[in-house]
Copies of this chain bind each other. A is one copy, B any other.
Amino acid sequence: MPTSAASAKTGADGVFTSQLAVLAGEIEALLDRLLRPPPDSEIQPPARLLEAMRYAALGGGKRLRPFLLVETARLFDVGPAAALPAAAAIECIHTYSLIHDDLPAMDNDALRRGRPTLHMAFDEATAILAGDALLTLAFDLLARVETHPDAAVRVRLIAELGCAAGAAGMVGGQLLDLAAEGRFATAPRPGEADIARIDSLKTGALLRAACRMGAIIGNAPPDAGTAIDRYASALGQAFQIADDLLDAEGDPATVGKATGKDAAAGKATLVTLLGPQGARARLAALTAEAEAALAGFGDAASSLRAAAHFIAARRA
């Protein structure tokens, strides 16, 4: 969708871009508060560990998962303030996953968001531990009463995130992704169904969890939950295709990380499988599917619709 880039700052897209920036600022401020030495505690985290966690977590980023969580909760008349702690928790999970994925033993990336990755800026041991600490912090946050007054809602949030982030979700997806690069010397070259499964776990699971956690906080009725699931599933697939297109065609200076990696690794993606034109057509169909899933919500869902367009058109 090359035309969307040009219009990204006007009309509905312009409204979306500023909404996203406002929420990103709120998440940044909350993470900044959460990642300070506790003022009234005898037990302090090591300064170096906290610095490393701050380097990774406060390094900008679009804060797309928090946005999806907050905007889904808003569909059910829950304001952003009530959804922010859970949104910060899912961003902690996303941040930890980037730290660990960038490690030399994994994707071996030196650049992330235009800056050295955490293990380059600090060292590998600190990066592993900062990732572990952020992963742990996510669940610590969700257990706190500030996240939601009702403990039953908090455990539903924890169960949702635990499931999406674990072996049958994001972590499993990262392992399958490494396998698809031939890393374990056992896997056959993946076909389209395999790639869809990898993408669904690796990036889809957490994007879906963001929406589902918003629905949990909003106490969404079952039929609304089904519509949200359909939206999130299409969005997750679209996100991964856009990501693969960026890797295939993006400029590292704009994208903020190395590109051309899939081709260099001889890795099959939907872009290599369908070709860039075919991938763009699939992306457009998924965006339409995401929009259609939101039909029942009317104007209240305009920011979630704009998020789908933003994902399809993103250049970084």
A175 near B124: Cβ-Cβ < 8 Å: no
Q: How far is the CB of A289 from chain B (nearest CB, A)?
A: 19
Residues from chain B with a CB closer than 8 A to the CB of A156 are 143
Interface size on A, residues (CB 8 A): 57
Residues from chain B with a CB closer than 8 A to the CB of A249 are none
A152 CB within 8 Å of chain B: yes
Q: How far is the CA of A167 from the CA of B169 in the complex (A)?
A: 24
Q: Which of B103, B133, B172 contacts A171 (CB 8 A)?
A: B133
Q: How far is the CA of A129 from the CA of B179 in the complex (A)?
A: 13
Given contacts A139-B139, A139-B162, A172-B45, contact A167 B53 (CB under 8 A): yes
Residues from chain B with a CB closer than 8 A to the CB of A183 are 123, 125
Q: How far is the CB of A73 from chain B (nearest CB, A)?
A: 19
Q: Which of A36-44, A234-242, A276-284 contacts B (4 or more CB under 8 A)?
A: A36-44
Residues from chain B with a CB closer than 8 A to the CB of A261 are none
Q: How far is the CB of A143 from chain B (nearest CB, A)?
A: 4
Instruction: Report 9 cross-chain contacts, Cβ distance below 8 Å, ordered by A residue.
Output: A46-B179, A106-B125, A125-B175, A129-B174, A136-B171, A137-B167, A140-B159, A154-B155, A155-B155
